Every structure is written in C-alpha cells, then in structure tokens.
Structure 1
Amino acid sequence: MKKYRVKIEGMTCTGCEEHITEELQKIGANNIEVSFRHGRAIFELLDEVNIEKIKKAIIKAKYIPSEIEEIESKEKMVLGVENDYDYVIIGSGSAAFSSAIKAVEYGAKVAMIERGTIGGTCVNIGCVPSKTMLRAGEINHFAKSNPFIGLNTSADNIDLSKLIEQKNKLVKELRQQKYIDLLNVYGIEMITGEAKFISEKTVEVNNRKISAKRFLIATGASPVVPNIPGLDEVDYLTSTTLLELKEIPKTLAIIGAGFIGLEMGNLFKNFGVKVTVIQRGNNFLKNYDPEIADTVRKFLREKGIKLITGVEFEQVKQIGDKKQVHILVDGEKKIIEADQLLIATGRKPNTARLDLYKAGVEVGSREEVKVDEYLRTTNPRIYAAGDVTMGPQFVYVAAYQGGIAADNALGGYSQKVNLEVVPGVTFTNPSIATVGFTEKQAIEKGYEVKTSILPLDAIPRALANHETTGIFKLVADAKTQKILGVHVVAENAGEVIYAATLAVKFGLTIEDLRESLAPYLTMAEGLKLASLTFDKDISKLSCCAG
C-alpha cells in the first residue's frame, strides 16, 4: 500500500467530503480522511494505482486536484503499553497544550513538564498582559488628546500599580481557565521541575527518570540581552519586567526597534512618557515593504517617539537612578539618558539546560532545535514546536505546530508544516499588519509583480475618524492577478488582516476583491478600495461607487 495526500480545490462543506470519499472508495482507497477545511484528502491505495486514476476520481466528484504527493506511510503507534508515558511534553505553553489535547484524543497517556509558571509566554508575560496594557494606554491617550473639535476630554494622573493589579488578575483568570483547568479535563499529568535528557528516550526531573515513546520540546524562548559594555552592571528592563513597574517613568529608552520595542514604546508614550527607540542598523523594519516602514516612521514622529537608527553602542552606564546609553551615530558621539532602559533586541530559544546532545538532538546557530518539515528533530522519537524552533514567533503558529507534532508523533501521519501564509500584527497606534509576500519577496520568488498603494486619507473610515496616517499596499501576480501579499498600517489593521489572509491563502484575485461587497465606513473596505487602485483613480469615484 502507498499513502497519498491530495490538495483539492472547490470543497465547501461536509457533503463535499462525502462525494470525494465515495469516488476514492471506487478506485480502492482505504483509510480515507477528507477535510474541506484543510482542502485535502489523505488515503491509502494499492501500489499499482497510478496518479492519473486519483486525479480522475476527484474530477469525477466535480472537484479539482491541485497537488498529489506520496507520503511516508506508517502505522499509528500502539498506545498504553510499555514506558512511563506515550507522550511527554517539555513546556506548558500554547504549543504544549495544543499538542497534549490532540495526543489525548488519540488515546495517549500524556505528561507535561514545567519548570516555571504553567501557560508559557503568551498568557503570562506576552500577548495577554501586553495587549490589555496597550488598550489602557490607548484610552489614556484619547482622553488626553482627541481629534474632534468641540469634544472636551481629559485624563488625570495614572495609577500604574492599579493597572498592573488588574492586568495580573486577568492573567491569573485566563491561566486558570485555559491551562490549569484543562489538565483535569483531558487527564494530562503535570510534573513540576526542570527536565534534562539523559538518553535518547529518557529525561530526568527532580532525580526521577521518565521514559516515553515520543517527546515534544516546547520550551519557548526568552529575551536576548545584547553584548554592550556596562549593560550587565545596569538595572535594565525586559518586556516582562517592564510590565511589572508600579510607577510611570518620565523617560524611557528602548534598545531595539522590532515589534516588542515599538509596542512598548507606543504604550508608554500613551502614558505620557518621553520615549526614545534606538536601533543598531540603518534598515528600519527591514523585513517590511519600504512604504510600510516609511509610514511607521511618520506616525512615530507624529506621536513624538524619537527613533534613532544606524547606531553603534559604545557603553551603558548607571548614574544614580538614571541610565545612560552612549552611542555613535554618523561619527558623532551622543548620550541618551532615561529613567528606565528597556532591552528589546529579540528572543532566544530555551534549550541551554535541556542537555539535548544526550538525546541526539541537534541545535542550530541560535541554539534553536533543528526540525524537519514534519517537526521531527534529529532524534526521530523527539519532536519540537513553537518558539524553541525559531520559526514565526506567534502563539497561533506555536499552537498549529503543536497539533501537527501530535498528529505525526502519535497519529501515524506525515503532515508537513505549512507556514507560507502567516499573518503578523504589531499593536501600535495605528497598528501594523502584514500577510504574504512583500514586493521584494515576490520578485525574488520569480513573480512578475504589480502593486497598489492606497494612503489612508483615501479611506472613508479614516476620514470619519480624523486619523489619516496610514497605508494599504497590495502585491499581486501580474499574470494571474492573484493576491500575493497585503500590508496595512491603520487603526484595526489586525482585524483587517484576517480577511487578507484568506485572500492570500485561497488565491483570490484582484477581481475577486473588487466584486465582493465591502461594508461602507469600515477599515476593511480599504482592501476593496486598494484593489480598485490597480487601474482606477478612486478620488474620482463617489462613495461606495466601487
């Protein structure tokens, strides 16, 4: 028998799944699993059945087979015998829980090992605490300064300790509901302590040796601290400790201009803090389209956040309660002095104390766990998922990978990770959201590219809000007209980008966007208006005329 995976276009419901299953059964397929949501079918066939016969069966069901690949066929693991556990997961964040829940559904006996606080980065020190604080900052900002004539609002002094208390309460509630309570719901055993591998199939925790048929490494990542002279003698902050401050500083210097630096700079600027963001290189937001980077520079200036790029760091000093960052910019020495210093120069995988070499697990140049397209490490018993692999650093990517790891480790699948269409959002004001290729990336991939650039002042919602700093950019294939990438700087860009993600993922065209009705006076209407600007001047159209 051979096992096949087929990508299928045109499925919309469970009825579609049934039609395809019927036709595949007619050609002798077994163990058929069809998913309209994933747009695929997985099944087994006798060796003599050829690819053309598979295509004809799917076409007969009135669907389109786009890709057919033979995958490694392996039987599901026999669970519940031998070893201490079927599946041991090191870490307890999004990747870990997603994988554990899927593993339990397969009937596996699962243990999770956590050396710190259950829940991982997102709920404890990442997404949840930062976004609730960012919302607080937005409200404070608009209370102090709004764009509407005749509307008188004001903001009193901020009690940061109360905000932190409320934030911690939310974190505690979500950690309990979405992590701790699920342990009992799914029968997952939690082992508290630090895991270290002592062999290819055994870890040791608190002097207890634990063996398993399969392991998942999902230990996440933590802040990187750059090698700057004097920094180790300074009382600096990370994104974690910054959100535990009890008093608002008057000035904040941030080393690093990535999404963490920009979000935290935006937050504290909205709290009334004088913020300076410092970046080593000249190429600001280097992985974004230049129009996006230029727009972000513009709104930083408008907000009063000082951005310094092309910096050479000489040293950092602490003078009393003040922190001094000594830099060289274009040959000129400067000193940035601030009450608080935030280090936001990226993250590193948490692998140093796992003794991975004892398990035959290789790591890369950044100490990340090396995995193949099935999330297997160099030890086929051991998988890895989430930030520890240094893929896209998003909680939803980690959860997606955790599920695939369980499917492949325990379910007998050979499912490849597909990260071709991953949306990303930076929660500034306005926010930055992207999905798919930039113009440069599309050209490098060999596409003949056409683009549409629409400033926010051409979007009715932005005009109604009196907030017009921003941009929509669409990148399309000039030959097929398919949307390859969408890049937005606007209020609620994170909400808009999900629709754009579907457009890129499912190969929608410029014409598809044009022909779709877009609700007037929404920011999402910008997608349709941007599609019109490929060959129209929308300033010469009436409202809703598109």
Structure 2
Amino acid sequence: MKKTIQLNILGMTCTHCALTVEKALKDVAGVDKANVFFPEGYAEVEVADEVADSVLTAAVVKSGYGAQVAKVDADLHDRSTRVDAPAAEKLHVIVLGSGSGAFAAAIRCVDGGARVTMIEKGTLGGTCVNIGCVPSKIMIRAAQLAHWQRAHPFQGLGHCEPTVERVALVAQQQQRVDELRNEKYVNVLASHPEITLLQGTARFADAHTIVVRTDDGKEQSVRGDRILISVGAHPLVPRIHGLDQTPYWTSTEALVAEEIPRHLVVLGASVVAVELAQAFRRLGAEVTILARSTLLSREDPALGAGLQTVFAEEGIRVLQQTVPESVHHNNGQFEIQIDSERLRADQLLVATGRQPNTQDLGLEFLGVVTNEFGAILVDYHMRTSVSHIFAAGDCTTHPQFVYVAAAGGTRAAVNMLGGDAALDLSAMPSVVF
C-alpha cells in the first residue's frame, strides 16, 4: 500500500533549496515520488505505508532544512494550515544585519513559529548582492569578453582592441544589482510580514535589549528572547604612513568606478585583489600588484605560481614580498614608496582583507568573546559565549563566503528555536574568478 504525505518545509529561500530537499526525500528507501514546491513551502511525498513520517522529516533535517508533517491521505488535494500562536506568545528573535546569513535565519525562524525583528543600518541585502559577488562577477565577465576580443585562440577570427565604455558597463552592472536585491531581499521581506525591519544603527543595552539609533538621532529599544549577530565585515585598511590621507579605493569604490585608470596599483594578493587586478588590466589599465608574500599565499603554492605566469603573459607586474613604506597623493597622482623604487599611479586599490563590523555593538560588556580582529567566536551550533546570543557570517571566525553565512544563519535559527543543528566546515569549496 502507498500513502501520500504532505510536509511543510521550513527554511527554503530559493528553487535550489527545493531541489536539495527533493533529492533528500527521493533518496529515502520506500519513497516513490517527491515534489517540493517553492515558494509555497511544502512537499508532497508518495511513500510506502511502512515508512515512518519521522524518517522523512529526518532526511529533510539532514539536508539542512526543517519539516513538519501537514497531512496524510491516500488522495491528497488540499494543504492543511498551521494555526500560529498569538504574537505576544511567540518567541521573539532579533537579527542584526540583512545579508544572506541574516535572511536565512529570519525566514527559518518565522517558518518555525517565531517573530523576527531585523535591524539594518545600511542597504538591505548585505555584501554579496550589493558590493561583492554580484557586481564583481559581472565586471570580471565583461573584462573577460574584452580580453577575448584581443586574444581569443581561434584561427580565422580577427582580433581587435575593444571599445570600453566604463560608464555604460557600470550602469548595466548596478541595474542587475538592484534587480537581484529586490528579488532576493526586498520582495522576500515583503512576503514575510512576520519579519519587522528597523533601519538604524544597533548597539546592545543589555544581553536581551538592542537600542536602535536612526539617522535623525531618534532611538528605540527592542527586547528579544534570542539574538543573532550577522553584521558582516568591511574592508581592512593596513597602517601605512600617509595612506589614510589619500583617496584610495577599496573594492567597494573600485567596482563602481566610472573611469579606468591608466595605471592602477593593487595592494594585496588574495582573491579580491587578484580578481580585480586582472579585470582592470583586461579593461585597459596598466596594473602593478604589491604582494606582502606571494599571490594567493593561503592556497596551494602551485596556484599562486601558475597565476604569476598568467599575469606575466597578460602584462600585470607583480612585486612579491613587498609592503609600501609610505603613500602620498599629489596633483592627482599616488606616490607609493617601496624598498627599491617609488611607484606612481593614477589610482591605488587597497584589497588586504576584511574586518568584522563588531566594533560598536558593545559586545565587550556582555562577555561575547571575539578574537584580536573583532571576529566573534562561535561553536558548531553558532552559539557565542553568551547562551542566547548567536552569530553567523563574515562577523565570525568562519570563512567569508556567502554560502557559509547562509548555512550558518539557517543552523543558528534551528538552534534558537530549540533544535540541534551543527555546521560542518571540514570540506569547503571555493572559487577564484
């Protein structure tokens, strides 16, 4: 005999989530069919009578999501609805930040019956969609196409010097950024009325109370049962004599710059630095990289060595084991003093890492432990040293990837609701574009 079970699936944020849950259900012995529906948030599973409901829900939980049995019927047509508790009785979760980790947690929390207050001091959506993954990959792709016009490998196709209209490229890039911010964050927020958004700067008044200060100086207090810190990070600027008195770029400014500099010096040699260095070179700039050690020094040495060869072929100068002694800006030119010479450039890009946005939260008064850089220490369950305060994303000691933040936010939500979900980072995929 067969039966059809309907499950309410908790925590899905996109169609890929639905495919992941669907595969997990289909892998269960005794399941004939499984269809998962996003954004409706449920699954219909045709399964043998002897398969227990708990086996299905366990498979969903193992895949990183939550599940509740909604209905069992031989001929299922209508979804059952869950009666929510009155708002005053619901667990109240405060989420600081609005990036991927924050949204993943907020959605999972309201799916689990909690109410959420999200606090964001800047632009909704966090680093990835606004100033990270999305704009950088669009720029890198455009630069690759420009490079192929000069240097594609096909006989019988001519080569040419591309015409680069940087203003038009930036406009198209930022239009896509706006579209994805609306699709993935603004519209998702609008479809979850249980999530209240407060715009302003947050700080802890005590372990359960957040004070939110708006731009006009007004303040309000919000008290929560659980708190998630997912405030992200900002570019780290090294202490170099004179640097803070110059109009240098970080990746944020570089991605929306409407002019290609004649000569760009890039300070740094990790992923962001090398990606943008090659993109600007392919768009027409002369580029010099100053690497404190070697290219991609935290990765397999063979990767950095191979990249060094590619950069030489493309005309990018790389100075390894080099840290500037001083930086000055005069008459529209940067002057960068290094051991062997004084470099002159139209623009300087500082891409030397990122620092957590935890400085002004008041964590030190609560006993929330951070490392020397301000990154929050969490356990495998995303819990900080204060039991009801959790953290996820770039403000923690975890690798700064959008999928790590989202995974951490999801697991934090499960645990804030009383569950037991751990984040296993023993295998970590990453890509350099």
Offset at residue 13 of structure 1 (A): 2.5
Amino acid at match of 2:322: V
| SS at 1:186 equivalent | coil
Contact 1:17 1:35 in 2 (8 A): no
Contact 1:230 1:317 in 2 (8 A): yes
- CA shift digits 1:240-293 (9 cap, x unpaired): 001121111111000000001000001101101111110122x43232222222
Amino acid at match of 2:336: V
- Out of 344, 364, 373, which is 1:357 matched to? 364
Amino acid at match of 1:34: A
* Distance in 1 between residues matched to 2:328 and 2:211, nearest whole Å: 42
* Distance in 2 between residues matched to 1:348 and 1:265, nearest whole Å: 21
Distance 1:372 1:317, change over 3 A: same
Q: Does residue 117 of the first structure (1) align with residue 123 of the second (2)?
A: yes
Specify the alignment match of 2:18 in structure 1: none
Specify the alignment match of 1:88 in structure 2: 94
Matches within 5 A, 1:17-96: 33-35=57-59, 38=62, 86-96=92-102
Amino acid at match of 2:406: A
Contact 1:12 1:37 in 2 (8 A): no
Is the deviation greater in 94-103 or in 145-154? 145-154
- Out of 378, 395, 399, which is 1:392 matched to? 399
Q: Does residue 183 of the first structure (1) align with residue 196 of the second (2)?
A: no
Q: Does residue 200 of the first structure (1) align with residue 212 of the second (2)?
A: no
**Highest Rg: 1 or 2?**
1
Overall identity of the aligned pairs, in %: 37
* Distance in 2 between residues matched to 1:155 and 1:40, nearest whole Å: 48
Contact 1:17 1:34 in 2 (8 A): no
Matches within 5 A, 1:421-460: 421-427=427-433
- Out of 300, 310, 315, which is 1:304 matched to? 315
- Out of 137, 145, 152, which is 1:139 matched to? 145
* Distance in 2 between residues matched to 1:134 and 1:40, nearest whole Å: 32
Specify the alignment match of 1:216 in structure 2: 228
Offset at residue 36 of structure 1 (A): 6.8
* TM superposition score normalised by structure 2: 0.80
Offset at residue 87 of structure 1 (A): 0.8
| SS at 1:246 equivalent | coil
Distance 1:297 1:21, change over 3 A: farther
| SS at 2:342 equivalent | strand
Specify the alignment match of 2:8 in structure 1: none
| SS at 1:208 equivalent | strand
| SS at 2:223 equivalent | strand
- Out of 237, 246, 262, which is 1:250 matched to? 262
| SS at 2:325 equivalent | strand
Specify the alignment match of 1:273 in structure 2: 285
Offset at residue 313 of structure 1 (A): 2.2
Distance 1:203 1:24, change over 3 A: same
Specify the alignment match of 2:29 in structure 1: 16
Q: Does residue 348 of the first structure (1) align with residue 360 of the second (2)?
A: no
Amino acid at match of 1:397: V
- CA shift digits 1:503-525 (9 cap, x unpaired): xxxxxxxxxxxxxxxxxxxxxxx
Q: Does residue 101 of the first structure (1) align with residue 138 of the second (2)?
A: no
RMSD: 2.7
Amino acid at match of 2:164: I
Offset at residue 20 of structure 1 (A): 12
- CA shift digits 1:19-43 (9 cap, x unpaired): 9996989xxxx8984217837999x
| SS at 2:273 equivalent | helix
- CA shift digits 1:55-76 (9 cap, x unpaired): xxxxxxxxxxxxxxxxxxxxxx
Specify the alignment match of 2:154 in structure 1: 148
* Distance in 1 between residues matched to 2:85 and 2:268, nearest whole Å: 47
Specify the alignment match of 1:508 in structure 2: none
Specify the alignment match of 2:326 in structure 1: 315
Distance 1:23 1:159, change over 3 A: closer
Contact 1:33 1:41 in 2 (8 A): no
Matches within 5 A, 1:362-373: 362-373=369-380
Specify the alignment match of 2:77 in structure 1: none
* Distance in 2 between residues matched to 1:83 and 1:208, nearest whole Å: 22
Q: Does residue 326 of the first structure (1) align with residue 350 of the second (2)?
A: no
Distance 1:264 1:39, change over 3 A: closer
Offset at residue 312 of structure 1 (A): 3.5
* Distance in 2 between residues matched to 1:404 and 1:40, nearest whole Å: 8
Offset at residue 359 of structure 1 (A): 3.2
* Distance in 2 between residues matched to 1:79 and 1:378, nearest whole Å: 30
Distance 1:22 1:199, change over 3 A: farther
Number of equivalences:
373
* Distance in 1 between residues matched to 2:312 and 2:330, nearest whole Å: 29
* Distance in 2 between residues matched to 1:180 and 1:194, nearest whole Å: 19
Distance 1:274 1:12, change over 3 A: same
Distance 1:262 1:148, change over 3 A: same
Is the deviation greater in 32-41 or in 385-394? 32-41
Q: Does residue 378 of the first structure (1) align with residue 364 of the second (2)?
A: no
Specify the alignment match of 1:48 in structure 2: none
- Out of 411, 419, 423, which is 1:417 matched to? 423
| SS at 2:324 equivalent | strand
Specify the alignment match of 2:253 in structure 1: 241
| SS at 1:181 equivalent | helix
* Distance in 2 between residues matched to 1:297 and 1:156, nearest whole Å: 25
- CA shift digits 1:68-105 (9 cap, x unpaired): xxxxxxxxxx9756589611100000001111111111
* Distance in 2 between residues matched to 1:96 and 1:242, nearest whole Å: 26
Offset at residue 319 of structure 1 (A): 2.3
Specify the alignment match of 1:443 in structure 2: none
Specify the alignment match of 2:75 in structure 1: none
Contact 2:28 2:56 in 1 (8 A): no
| SS at 2:185 equivalent | helix
Higher relative contact order (Cα pairs below 8 Å, separated by 6+ residues) = 2
Contact 1:144 1:154 in 2 (8 A): yes
